[in-house]
């Protein structure tokens, strides 16, 4: 009847439950109890400085109400705040701060860790000496029934370190660093700084830590340690990594008497490590160690304005200005190629500290002074003409100088040389004149060649006629030679025939002569006999008469004169006729002899 009346008056069900001292806590909640007053106990109020009641005092109670039904919690004496469970999501961690507990002491900034079931048992936390303030312990992902009257919980992201990166740790709790040290030494047992209390118990130092975290996921309380993510230390190909350690035990120099320009120590000691790192990636703390990358391949340095290599070691170098012996100032660009052996890289860094210092403290003054001294011993023209000799000498002299610094000089190259404008104009005018002379000579040669070309073209154009003429000449020569040969053959034939005819005539003549001789001899013999038979004049007259008769000669001339009479007249006429006939016969034989071939030969 009372319940119905209350409901009729408009009071809710929960109000009715509270009226009768009944409290129902849902399954996903926790009841935080605040006691308003106490009746009949000796210490009814909390001690000074306390916020959480452990012995029933008035105030926020350490014990909470679990999910379920609870009785005798009268509303006029207790106020109940039903709070949801504390849930730490995946990828998050719970950072806890306590509103009550023992005050921090001993220089601590974080409350030490106590056994309290991940802060779900407030009574155990306070009774075990839990301290107020930020807690060094944290809550991993999950759901927790925590008294929010005592603890506040905030979320923080889980630490994720990706590949090729490292985490640099700086802790806020631990012992103070010794004087002169910049980072805490490595301690064990704290599970990569995830157990802050173990780190402090093991004697860890607050501040920067030498140890780094590698790739992975870590539950690290951000109130205990901060983590800076950096890339791993990389030593490129064709380089050596010289390590300079700022932490560790003081190292002893291991270079001996041969190297007095710096100390080299063993790996792990404080100082410059004698053994360099080979190309690769290393998990080295860049706040406690510095790795100087020294190129072990050839390095080109340019003394030229607005010209620099990718390594940037020569970005502050500029064109060298020198003065010649004849008072002219001129500029020249120089490139120097150097090489540092791997095992000498630590010596270079121990002496100079960095490659930049090597360039500015050694290479720049050495090379600049060499060329300034070389220019003072020569005039500009001679310097330009003897460029190769200067370059070879520079390589030798600079190489000897750099050997003292454990640096190898591969080559020295002289680049662009910029003479004074006035001198350059004179040289340019001279060169132009020389080039004009060469041009004119070239043109002249071209005209000669053109003339020869024209002649060649003309010859080529008449070549057909020349060939025809040459062929005609050759044919004529061949015909003449043939004629000569033919004439020579005919001459030889005629000579042979003539010789044969001559031989024949000679033989015939001989035979005829012999015949005639024999006939003459015979006739002479006959005539002799006839003469002997008759007188001489009678024989002659008879023969004359025969001859006249045979020749048809008139015996009596048409006109005849006589010289006088006498008895001797007849014989005189006969003698004259005989002489005339004999004379004619001799002429006829002579004429025949002239016509005969034997007479021609």
Concatenating the DSSP letter of every residue in 3-60 gives HHHHHHTT--HHHHHHHTT-EEE-TTEEEEEEE---SS-S--SPPTT--EESSS-SEE
Task: Please indicate, yes or no, whether residues 150 and 164 belong to a single structural domain of this protein.
Answer: no
Number of Cβ atoms within 10 Å of the Cβ of 139: 23
- Residue 448 forms part of a structural domain: no
CA 358/CA 361 separation, integer angstroms: 5
Residues 150-185: tens digit of each pLDDT: 999 999 999 999 999 999 999 999 999 999 899 999
Buried residues in 358-375 as b, exposed as e (16+ CB within 10 A): bbeebbbebbbebbeebb
- Residue 189 in this model has a pLDDT that exceeds 90: yes
CA dist 18 and 71 (Å) reads 9
Which residues, including other chains, have CB under 8 Å from residue 337's CB and lie 6 or more apart?
A: 298, 299, 300, 301, 409, 410, 411, 412, 413
Inform me whether the pLDDT recorded for 574 exceeds 70: no
**Dist CA 90 CA 87 (whole Å):** 10
Residue pair 145/64 in contact by the 8 Å Cβ criterion: yes
CA distance 131 to 151: 11
In a domain, 512, yes or no: no
- Shared domain check, 310 and 357: yes
Instruction: Using alpha carbons only, give the angle 470, 471, 475 rounded to the nearest 5 degrees.
Output: 120
| pLDDT tens profile 8-51 | 444 454 555 666 789 999 999 999 999 988 876 566 788 888 89
Q: Do 257 and 406 belong to one domain?
A: yes
DSSP E strands: which ranges in 271-345?
271-273, 280-282, 289-295, 299-303, 320-323, 329-339
Position 585 scores a pLDDT of 65
Q: Are 389 and 249 within one domain?
A: yes
Which two three-digit tokens encode residue 14? 């929960």
Alpha-carbon separation of residue 448 from 275, 435, 443, 445 (angstroms):
75, 19, 9, 5
The pTM score is: 0.63
Q: Is residue 441 part of a domain?
A: no
A 10 A CB-CB count for 584 gives: 13
Q: Could you tell me if residue 478 is inside a domain?
A: no
For the cut 70, the answer to whether the pLDDT of residue 557 exceeds it is: no
111, 137, 156 - which closes a domain:
156
Domain boundary among 172, 203, 231: 231
Instruction: State whether 211 and 350 are in the same domain.
Output: no
Kindly list the strands in the beta sheet with 289-295, ordered across the sheet, starting from the edge strand earlier in the chain.
Answer: 264-265, 271-273, 239-245, 289-295
Within 13 Å of residue 46, how many CA atoms lie on the same side as its CB? 16
Q: Backbone phi, then psi, for 531, in 5-degree steps? A: -65, -40
How far is it, in rounded angstroms, from Cα 430 to Cα 419? 15
**Structural domains counted in the chain:** 3
Report strand pairing: 271-273 vs 264-265. Answer: parallel
Give the domain range for residue 69. 15-156
DSSP state of 262: S
H-run or E-run covering 537 = helix 536-551
Residues 189 and 259 in one domain: no
Q: Are residues 213 and 282 in the same domain?
A: no
Kindly state whether residue 509 falls inside one of the protein's structural domains. Answer: no
Q: What is the pLDDT of residue 7?
A: 41
**Mean pLDDT calculated for residue range 238-267:** 88
Tally the residues of the chain.
Answer: 601
| 262 shares a domain with 408 | yes
CA 264 to chain centre: 37
CATH code (residue 318): 3.30.479.30
Q: Are residues 123 and 186 in the same domain?
A: no
pLDDT at 561: 47
Q: What is the DSSP letter of 237?
A: T
pLDDT above 80 (res 316): yes
- What angle (nearest 5°) sits at the alpha carbon of residue 198, between those of residues 195 and 199? 85
Please tell me the predicted confidence (pLDDT) of residue 243: 96
SS3 per-residue string spanning 134-166: EEEEEECCEEECCCCCCEEEEEEECEEECCCEE
Are 104 and 111 contacting, i.e. CB atoms less than 8 angstroms apart?
yes
Domain membership flag for residue 593: no
102 neighbors 125 (Cβ within 8 angstroms): no
In a domain, 590, yes or no: no
What is the pLDDT at residue 262? 81
Do both 264 and 225 map to the same domain?
no
pLDDT at 2: 43
172 is a domain residue: yes
* DSSP codes joined into one string, 365-400: HHHHHHHHHHHHTS-HHHHHHTHHHHHHHHHHHHHH
Give yes or no: residues 102 and 41 share one domain: yes
**What dihedral do alpha carbons 167, 168, 170, 175 form, nearest 10°?**
110
Domain closes at, from 99, 129, 156:
156
Where do the H-state alpha helices sit in 66-121? none
Contact call for residues 242 and 273 (beta carbons, < 8 A)? yes
**Which range is least confidently modeled, 5-9, 63-67, 119-123?**
5-9
- 573, 579, 580, 582: CA torsion to nearest 10: 140
Angle at 425 between CA 424 and CA 431, to 5 degrees: 85
Q: Mean pLDDT throughout 319-344?
A: 90
pLDDT at 3: 42
pLDDT for residue 1: 45
Please answer whether residues 375 and 418 qualify as being in contact, where contact means their C-beta atoms are separated by less than 8 angstroms.
no
Could you tell me if 124 and 31 lie in one domain?
yes
């Amino acid at each position: 009847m009372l319940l119905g009346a209350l409901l009729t008056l408009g009071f809710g069900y929960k109000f009715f439950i509270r009226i009768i001292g009944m409290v129902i806590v849902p399954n996903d909640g926790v009841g935080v109890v605040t006691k308003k007053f106490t009746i009949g106990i000796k210490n009814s109020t909390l001690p000074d400085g306390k916020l959480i009641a452990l012995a029933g005092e008035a105030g926020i109670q350490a014990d909470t109400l679990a999910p379920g039904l609870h009785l005798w919690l009268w509303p006029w004496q207790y106020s109940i705040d039903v709070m949801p469970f504390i849930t730490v999501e995946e990828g998050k961690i719970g950072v806890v701060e306590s509103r009550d507990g023992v005050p921090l002491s001993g220089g601590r900034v974080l409350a030490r860790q106590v056994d309290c079931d991940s802060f779900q048992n407030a009574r155990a936390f306070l009774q075990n000496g839990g301290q107020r303030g930020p807690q060094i312990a944290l809550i991993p992902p999950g759901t927790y029934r925590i008294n929010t009257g005592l603890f506040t919980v905030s979320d923080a992201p889980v630490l994720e370190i990706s590949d090729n990166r490292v985490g640099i740790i700086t802790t806020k709790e631990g012992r103070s660093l010794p004087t002169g040290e910049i980072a805490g030494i490595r301690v064990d047992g704290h599970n990569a700084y995830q157990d802050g209390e173990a780190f402090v118990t093991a004697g860890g130092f607050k501040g920067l830590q030498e140890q780094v975290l590698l790739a992975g996921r870590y539950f690290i309380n951000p109130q205990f340690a901060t983590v800076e993510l950096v890339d791993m230390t990389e030593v490129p190909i064709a380089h050596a990594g010289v390590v300079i350690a700022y932490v560790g035990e003081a190292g002893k120099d291991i270079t001996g008497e041969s190297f007095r320009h710096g100390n080299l120590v063993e790996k792990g000691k404080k100082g410059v490590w004698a053994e360099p790192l080979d190309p690769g990636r290393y998990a080295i703390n860049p706040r406690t160690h510095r790795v100087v990358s020294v190129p072990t391949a050839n390095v080109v340095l340019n003394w030229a304005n607005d010209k620099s290599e990718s390594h940037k070691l020569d970005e502050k170098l500029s064109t060298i200005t020198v003065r010649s012996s004849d008072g002219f100032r001129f500029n020249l660009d120089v490139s120097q190629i150097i090489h540092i052996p791997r095992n000498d890289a630590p010596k270079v860094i121990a002496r100079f500290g960095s490659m930049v210092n090597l360039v500015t403290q050694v290479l720049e003054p050495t090379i600049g002074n060499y060329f300034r001294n070389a220019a003072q011993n020569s005039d500009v023209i001679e310097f330009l003409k003897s460029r190769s000799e200067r370059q070879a000498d520079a390589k030798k002299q600079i190489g000897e100088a750099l050997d003292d610094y454990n640096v190898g000089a591969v080559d020295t190259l002289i680049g662009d040389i910029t003479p004074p404008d006035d001198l350059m104009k004179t040289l340019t005018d001279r060169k132009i004149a020389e080039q004009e002379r060469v041009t004119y000579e070239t043109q002249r040669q071209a005209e000669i060649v053109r003339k020869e070309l024209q002649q060649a073209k003309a010859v080529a154009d008449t070549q057909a006629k020349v060939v025809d003429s040459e062929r005609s000449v050759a044919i004529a020569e061949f015909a003449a030679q043939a004629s000569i040969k033919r004439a020579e053959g005919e001459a030889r034939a005629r000579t042979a025939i003539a010789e044969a005819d001559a031989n024949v005539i000679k033989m015939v003549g001989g035979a005829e002569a012999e015949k005639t001789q024999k006939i003459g001899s015979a006739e002479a013999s006959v005539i002799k006999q006839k003469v002997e038979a008759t007188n001489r004049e009678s024989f002659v007259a008879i023969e004359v008469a025969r001859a006249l008769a045979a020749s048809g000669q008139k015996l009596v001339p048409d006109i005849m004169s006589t010289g006088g009479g006498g008895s001797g007249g007849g014989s005189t006429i006969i003698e004259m006729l005989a002489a005339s006939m004999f004379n004619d016969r001799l002429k006829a034989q002579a004429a025949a002899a002239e016509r005969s071939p034997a007479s021609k030969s």
